[in-house]
A and B are shown apart, each in its own frame.
Chain A
Amino acid sequence: MANNDKIDRNLNGSEAIAEAIFQEMQQDENTILIGEDVGKCGGVFGASRNCFSEFGENRVRDMPISEMTFTGMGVGMAMSGLRPIIEIMFADFLGVCLEQIYNAIGKIHYMSGGAVKMPIVVKTAAGNIGSAAQHSQCLWGTLAHLPGLKIVVPSSLYDHKGLMASAIRSNDPVIFFEHKELLLKRARSFLSNPIVPQNTYTVPIGKAAKPRIGSDITLVTLSYSVELALKSAYEVAKEGIDVEIIDLRSLVPLDIETVLQSVRKTQRLLVVDEDYQSFGVSGEIITRVVENIDPTSLRQIKRHAVPDVPIPAALSLEQVVVPNYDSIKNMLIMMAKGP
C-alpha cells in the first residue's frame, strides 16, 4: 500500500514468477520446465506464461498426469546435467510424487557422498482458496520435516520473482510453495513489497524479511498470511498495539536469528501458519525460540494455525479453521491485553 504510487507494473504473483522463469531460462539453456498445463496454457495459474512460445516444446513440456514419473524424470534429468523446474499443480498432489521427492531428490546428494547434485525446483501452489479438503492444503511443514530439501515460501510480490530466480540457480533442490491467493493478487492490492523490477535479480534463500517494525508483539508468519498479518497489524495499530512482522520467506534454511532478535525486543511471540498446527512450523519456531531465549524472560508465546483438521467445504466451517484477518487481529488484541 505504501508504495502504491510507485507501481508501474500491476503484476500478479504468477506473472512475477513467470518472469523469473523466463529470464532464467534465457540465461541457461539447461534449465527446463515440465508439468501439467505448463505449455500452451502457460500454467493453470499463469506462472509459466510466455515460456512455451519462447523456448519451445523441448524445454517447456506439457506432461501427462503422471506426477510420480515426471518427478522421477527430474532426477534423471538433473543427473544428466539439466536443471529441471517441475510444476506440481497443487501442493495437495505432492502426495502422488512424494516418493521421488523425499527418497531421491532430498537424499541423493547425501547418499552419493556429495558427488551428485540435484539442481531441481519443485514448484507448487499451496493454500486455501475455498476448494475443500483435497485442494486447499499448505503442507510446507510436512516437506520441511524431510532432510535435504530447501523449502521456499514467498509472500511479497518482489520476493516471488527474486526467490524463484534464486531457487532456479540453487544447486540444491528447492520445493517452492506459491500461494494461490498471491498468484492471482495484483501489485496494487499487495501490502508487502509490490514492486517487481524488470531486470533479473535474486533474493537470497534463508534470510527472513521484516515487512513491519514494531515493539509490542512479534508476529512470525509466511506466505499469504503475511498479507493478512500486515492488514491486522495496521488495524490494531489504531488501538495502540505495535506489531513487528517477520516473513520467514524460507523454512529451510530457517532464519531464526531474525526471529530471536525481535522476540528479545518484544517478549511476545505469535506464530501464524495456514498449515496444520501440530508437529509443524509453529512448534518448530517456538521450540527454537525457547532453546535460545530464557523462557522466563518471555511474556507470551502463542500460535494460530489450522487446528489439525482437513479443510471443510462449507464457507461457514472454513472460516473457523483457517487463520484469517479477523482471527489474527483478535489474537493480537488478546495478546496485547495480556502480560
Chain B
Amino acid sequence: MNQIERFKAMVEMRFFDEACLEGVPTMEIHGELHTGIGQEAISAGLLGHLKNSDALVSTHRNHYHALIKGVNPYRLMSEIFEKKTGICQGFGGHMHPFSLKQNFSATGIVGQSLPVALGYAYAFKMRKEDSLAIGVIGDGAANHGTFHETLNIAGAWKLPLLVLVENNGYGISVPISKVLATETIAERAKSYSAWGKCVNGDDPDIVSEAVEEAVSHIRSNQGPAILEAVCNRFRGHYEGDTDHYRSKTEKQNMLKGDPITTYSKKLLSLKVLTENEIQNIFQTSKQKMFGLLKRVRGEKMPLPETALNYIFCEKTDG
C-alpha cells in the first residue's frame, strides 16, 4: 500500500467523522457519539496488511476500524444515523456495528473487544486457517482484567491475535500516566511471551511498518502481538463532553500536531504529492463523505412495528 493511499484513507476517515458530527445537534444521532478525529494515522497504517477473512473487534470509537476493514461507508453512516439502511438496520447504532462479511464487530463495553477477538483467533487456529484477529482497545481498556486474561491465553496457546492499543493518553478524563504501572503498555508483552512495540501513532508510515512486523510475527505462528500506537483524541470523549479536564494550552498544542497536516507536509517534501493533488484529495473526500451524508439523511428509520423482531432467531411462541 503506498503513501498516497494512506493519505487518502486518513482524509476520508476525517471527513466521514466530520459528516457524522452534523447529526448531533440535529438529534439525528440521538445518543452518544465518539469520533476518531485525530487518530486517523493508526487505521491508515493497517491498510494493506489485513485480509478480508481477518477479524477485527473494535470499541466505542470504531468508525475508522470499520472503514479500514472494508465495511461499506454508506451503510455504516446509515447505522450511525439510526437508519433502516444501516448495517444493523438501525438496531445497533454507532457503538454496536456488526458485519460478518468483513469479520468486523464492536462493543460499547470497555475491555470487552479482546476476549471476542481471542475467540476468533482460537477458531482460526483450530481450523488451521491463515487468518488473524485484531482486538482494538484504548489505553484505558488496557487496565481491564480482560487484557491480562486474553493475552495470557493467547500467549499460552500461541494464538494469532494482535492487540492494537490506540493510546490517546486518556480514558475519558483520567490521564493514563496516573493509572498505569509501567511506562508503556507494550512492555507488558514479555509477560505473555508476546511481541510488543510502542510507536508514534501520528505517522501512518511508522504504524504501517510496525503492523507489518507484528502481523508477520503472528502469521508465522509465533503467538500474539501488542502494538501500542500513541496518538491524541482531538475532541471530548464523546460529543457533548465539555472536556474541562484538559487545559487550553494542552489542547492547542495537541491540535498543532494534526496527523493529517503533518503527513501532508511529509508527502509534499518527499514529492509524493503536490500541493494541488493534496487539495484535490481533500475536496474529493469531502464531497464523497458529505455526499454520503446527504443520501443517508434521506433514508428512513426502521419501522416501529419491527422493534421486537430480532430478540431470537428461532420462533418462540408459547
A: residues with CB less than 8 A from B are: 36-37, 39-41, 44, 62-69, 92-93, 95-96, 129-136, 307-310, 312-317, 319-321
7 A–B contacts, CB within 8 A, in A order: A36-B174, A64-B179, A133-B108, A309-B308, A313-B93, A316-B302, A317-B91
B179 — which chain A residues lie within 8 A by C-beta? 62-64
Considering the complex of A and B, which 6 residue pairs feature the smallest CB-CB distances, nearest first?
Answer: A313-B93, A41-B173, A314-B90, A64-B143, A131-B31, A64-B179
Q: How far is the CA of A21 from the CA of B141 in the complex (A)?
A: 28
Contact present for A317 and B95 (CB under 8 Å): no
Q: How far is the CA of A130 from the CA of B108 in the complex (A)?
A: 14
Contact present for B31 and A129 (CB under 8 Å): yes
A93 — which chain B residues lie within 8 A by C-beta? 109-110
Contact present for A65 and B90 (CB under 8 Å): no
Q: Which of B30, B93, B95, B141 contacts A65 (CB 8 A)?
A: B141
Q: How far is the CA of A37 from the CA of B178 in the complex (A)?
A: 12
Q: How far is the CA of A307 from the CA of B305 in the complex (A)?
A: 13
Output the nearest chain A residue to B178 by Cβ-Cβ distance. A62
A321 — which chain B residues lie within 8 A by C-beta? 307-308
Output the nearest chain B residue to A57 by Cβ-Cβ distance. B178
Q: How large is the interface on B (under 10, 10 to 19, 20 to 34, 35 or more residues)?
A: 35 or more
Q: Encode contact with A along B94-110: 1 for CB under 8 Å, 0 otherwise.
A: 11100000000001111
B191 — which chain A residues lie within 8 A by C-beta? none
B141 — which chain A residues lie within 8 A by C-beta? 65
Contact present for A40 and B173 (CB under 8 Å): yes
A317 — which chain B residues lie within 8 A by C-beta? 90-91, 301-302, 304, 306-307
Output the nearest chain B residue to A319 by Cβ-Cβ distance. B304
Q: Please give the distance in Å from B94's CB to the nearest CB on chain A.
A: 7
Q: Which of B83, B95, B308 contacts A307 (CB 8 A)?
A: B308
Q: How far is the CA of A172 from the CA of B180 in the complex (A)?
A: 33
B308 — which chain A residues lie within 8 A by C-beta? 307, 309, 321
Q: How far is the CA of A132 from the CA of B94 in the complex (A)?
A: 9
Q: Knowing A92-B109, A314-B93 are in contact, say whether A37-B173 is a contact too (CB < 8 A).
A: yes
Contact present for B304 and A135 (CB under 8 Å): no
Contact present for B306 and A41 (CB under 8 Å): no
Q: Which of B83, B95, B305 contacts A134 (CB 8 A)?
A: B95
Contact present for B145 and A315 (CB under 8 Å): no
B172 — which chain A residues lie within 8 A by C-beta? 36-37, 41, 44
A44 — which chain B residues lie within 8 A by C-beta? 172-173
Q: How far is the CA of A136 from the CA of B30 in the complex (A)?
A: 12
Q: How far is the CA of A319 from the CA of B30 in the complex (A)?
A: 12
B79 — which chain A residues lie within 8 A by C-beta? 313
Q: Which of B91, B143, B171 contacts A314 (CB 8 A)?
A: B91
Contact present for B302 and A96 (CB under 8 Å): no
Which among A92, A96, A132 has the greatest number of chain B C-beta atoms within 10 A?
Answer: A132
Output the nearest chain A residue to B300 by Cβ-Cβ distance. A316
Contact present for A133 and B92 (CB under 8 Å): yes
